[in-house]
Chains A and B, each alone.
Chain A
Amino acid sequence: MDDTFLLVVRTLDATLRVATPLIFCAMAGLYSERSGIVDIGLEGKMLAGAFAAATVAALTGSAWLALGAAVLISMSLALLHGFACITHRGDHVVSGVAINILVAGLTIVLGNAWFRQGGQTPSLPADARFMSMDFPGAEAMSEIPLIGQIYAELISGHNLLVYAGLAAVPLTAWVVYKTRFGLRLRAVGENPAAVDTAGISVVWLRYRAVMICGVLTGLAGTYLAIAQNAGFSRDMTAGQGYIALAALIFGKWRPWLAFGACLIFGLLDAVSIRMQGVELPGIGEVPVQAIQALPYVLTVVLLAGFIGKAVAPKAIGQPYVKER
C-alpha cells in the first residue's frame, strides 16, 4: 500500500517535470491567440530559447544570464512574427511555420560553427543550471506518511522554473480576467474594430501580447536546456510546442483548463515511462509499443468524446485593417 502510494506521488512528481514546458508554452500561446494572433511558432521560439540559454550558460557559466538571453531571443522571434502578422498583415500560420523551420536549421548550424559538436552545446556544470531545490524540512517530513511524503516528493525538490511555470497559470488567469489589459486583450481577439472604436490601439495591444508570448516561450526553452537537461541538442523540443498548442485548444483558450490539459499530457507521458516493463495484474507485461501509443490513443478518445466544442477567439488569424 505504502509503496503504491509512493509510486503514485512520484509519478505525479514526474508529471510536473514533464508538463512544465507545456504549461509555459500553453500560457504563451494563450496571450498570443487571445489577442487574435495564431501562434504555431511556439515550437521554434522555445527551441531558439533553449539554444540561447545553453549557449550563454556554456560561455558565461551563469544560469540567470542564460535565462535573460533565452527570453531576449524568443522575444525577438515573437516580434518578428508580430512584424509579419500585425504590421504587414501576413498569414499567421505561414509566418509561424517559417520561424519553426528557420530555428530548427539555424540552431544546428550555429551550434556546429561555435562548438563543433554536431549542433550540441557542451554539457553544463551544476552551477550554470537551475538545479532542484529542497524545501526546508523536506528530509524530516518524508518520514511522515501521506502529507509528509507528498510534501517531500511532490512539492519540494523541483527547480525554480517548475514553480515559475506553476505560478504562471494563476497569474495568467488574473491578468486575462481581472485586469484592464486582459479585458482589452480578450476584446481585441473577438472584435478588434470595437477596441479600435474605443480609442485603443489594436496594433500596440497585439504587439504586447506577442511579446509576453515570447517571454514565456523563452522560459520554456530555458527549462528544457539548462534545468531539465544540461545542454542543447538538436530538435530537443521534440514537438512539445505543438502539444502545448493542442493543450491550449483542449482548454478552450482558458488558463486553468489549458493547465489541466498540459497536466494530462504530462501525466500520460510520465505513466507511459513508468508502465514500461512493469507486470500488470491479469495482463502481464505490456509491450513497449502499446505503452507509447497510449498518450495518442487517449488524446483521440478525449478529443472525440469529452472535450466538447472548442470555440476559438472570433478574430483569430484575421489581420486588422483600420480603414478600407
Chain B
Amino acid sequence: MKNLGRIAAVLTVALGTTAAQAQDYTPAVVFDMGGKFDKSFNEGVFNGVEQFKTETGINYREFEVTNETQREQAIRRMAQRGANPVLGVGFAQADAIGKVAAEFPDTRFSLIDGVVDAPNVQSIVFKEHEGSFLVGMLAVMASETGKVGFVGGMDIPLIRRFACGYEQGAKYVSKDAEVIQNMTGTTPAAWNNPGRGAELAKSQFDRGADVVYAAAGATGIGVLQAAADNGKYAIGVDSNQNHLHPGTMLTSMIKRVDVAAYNTFMSGKDGSWKPGFNVLGLAEGGVGWALDEHNADLISEDMKAVVEKAREDIIAGKIVVHDYMADDSCTY
C-alpha cells in the first residue's frame, strides 16, 4: 500500500513535469472593451491566436477587459503568472503596458494599435489611413448621391485617422463628394453600443448618404444592420465583415490584426520576437480591402481596376495619404 502511494506520487510528479514542459511557453492576450466577439477588431486578434493554438497545440491565457480599471491589473496578473509574451490589444492599453513592462523587464510585451517605447515592448501599428483611402474610393464609386457616411467608435485620434483616410479617398475619386462623419461617443462604452450605431447610420441616410463606413468595434454591428435594413451599402472594418450581410456589404477595410497576433505568438515561440516598432501598411499587406464571394457582385471591374491602381500608387509613393495622427489634423 505504501509503495502504491509512492508510485502514485512519482507518477504525479512525472506527469506534472511533462505537462509543465509542454506548457513552458505560455503566451497571453488581453482583449479590450469591445469584447473578443465584436466581429471586428478584437475578434480579429482572437482568430489569430486561435489559429496559433490549433497549429501548435499550445494554450494561451486570455482576459477580456470589461471596464477601464481592469487593464493594468489584467496585464500585471498575466506577467506575474509567467505568461510571456503578453499581447495587449488596443490603444487604450498603452499606458498599462508601459507601466507593467517596466516592472517586468524580462517579460516580452506586444501592443497592437499603440506605441510604447521600452526595451521589452513591441509596438505594432497599422496605416489605417491607407486602407481607409481605398474603401473611401469604393464608397464614392458605389454611391448614387455622392454622399457617403462614416461612423466612428470612440472619438480618438486613431479613429480620426480612419475618417481622414476615408475622406481623402472619397475626394480623390470626386472633388464634390461629401463625407458625413459621426463619432459614437467619447468613452470606451462607444465601442459597444450597436443601438446608437444604428441610429447614427440612419441619421446619415436621412441626410442623403447611401454608403456608410463603420470603424467602431461592436457598435459597427448596428451600423451594418441599419444599412441592411434600409437597403444602403455598408463597409466593415478590421476583420472581413462581408459575410454579415451579403448584398449590402460593399467591402471591408481589413486590418490584419489576426496576422499580427499570430506572428507575435509564433515569433515568441521560435525566438525571433523583437522589440521596437512595427508599422504595417498597404505595402506590408497589413491593411487592405476585402473582395470575396459575398460582395463580388457589387464591385465592378472598373471599380476594381481604379482601386488597384490607387493601391499601387500609394505603395509606390505617388499618392501620399495624410496621416491624421502625424499632426492631429486632417489637412491634405
Contacts and interface: CB of A to CB of B under 8 A. Distances in A.
Interface of A: 7, 10, 14, 17-18, 117-120, 123, 126, 131-132, 224, 228-231, 233-236, 238, 269-270, 273-274, 276-277, 288-289, 292
Contact of A288 (B183, B192, B194, B225): B183
Given A14-B199, A18-B199, A273-B200, A292 B186 contact: yes
A123 B182 contact: no
Contacts of A231: 221
A132 B228 CA distance: 13
A120 B202 contact: no
A151 B135 CA distance: 37
Contacts of B189: 238
B203 interface: yes
B221 A273 contact: no
B183 A118 contact: no
A223 to B, nearest CB: 11
A181 to B, nearest CB: 34
Nearest to A230: B225
B131 interface: no
B134 to A, nearest CB: 23
Contacts of A18: 199
Interface in B54-76: 64
Interface string B10-52: 0000000000000000000000000111100000000000000
B98 interface: no
9 smallest CB-CB distances across A and B, nearest first, come from A118-B37, A10-B206, A117-B37, A118-B35, A230-B225, A276-B182, A273-B203, A274-B203, A288-B183
Interface string B187-228: 001001111101110110011000000000010011001000
B192 to A, nearest CB: 7
Interface string B146-170: 0000000001000000000000000
A233 B192 contact: yes
A160 B222 CA distance: 20
B229 interface: yes
16 contacts: A7-B206, A118-B38, A119-B37, A132-B229, A229-B198, A234-B192, A238-B189, A238-B195, A269-B199, A270-B199, A270-B203, A273-B182, A276-B181, A277-B180, A288-B183, A288-B186
Contacts, number: 76
Q: Which of A7, A224, A229 has its CB near the most chain B CB atoms (within 10 A)? A: A229
A228 B203 contact: no
Interface of B: 35-38, 64, 155, 180-183, 185-186, 189, 192-196, 198-200, 202-203, 206-207, 218, 221-222, 225, 229, 244
B247 to A, nearest CB: 12
A69 to B, nearest CB: 20
B195 A224 contact: yes
Q: Which of A118, A236, A238, A276 has its CB near the most chain B CB atoms (within 10 A)? A: A118
A276 B155 CA distance: 12
Contacts of A234: 35, 192
A233 B196 CA distance: 12
B221 A123 contact: yes
Contacts of B183: 276, 288
Q: Which of A119, A235, A274 has its CB near the most chain B CB atoms (within 10 A)? A: A274
B203 A238 contact: no
Contacts of A229: 194-195, 198, 222, 225
A18 B195 CA distance: 9
A228 B155 contact: no
B36 A118 contact: yes
A58 B127 CA distance: 38
Given A228-B195, A235-B192, A236-B195, 4 more contacts: A118-B64, A123-B225, A233-B218, A270-B199
Nearest to B205: A10
Contacts of B155: 288-289
A276 B193 CA distance: 17
Contacts of A269: 199
Q: Which of A119, A230, A292 has its CB near the most chain B CB atoms (within 10 A)? A: A230
Contacts of A270: 199, 203
Given A273-B182, A277-B182, A288-B155, A233 B221 contact: yes
Contacts of B186: 288-289, 292
Nearest to B150: A277
Contacts of B229: 126, 131-132, 230
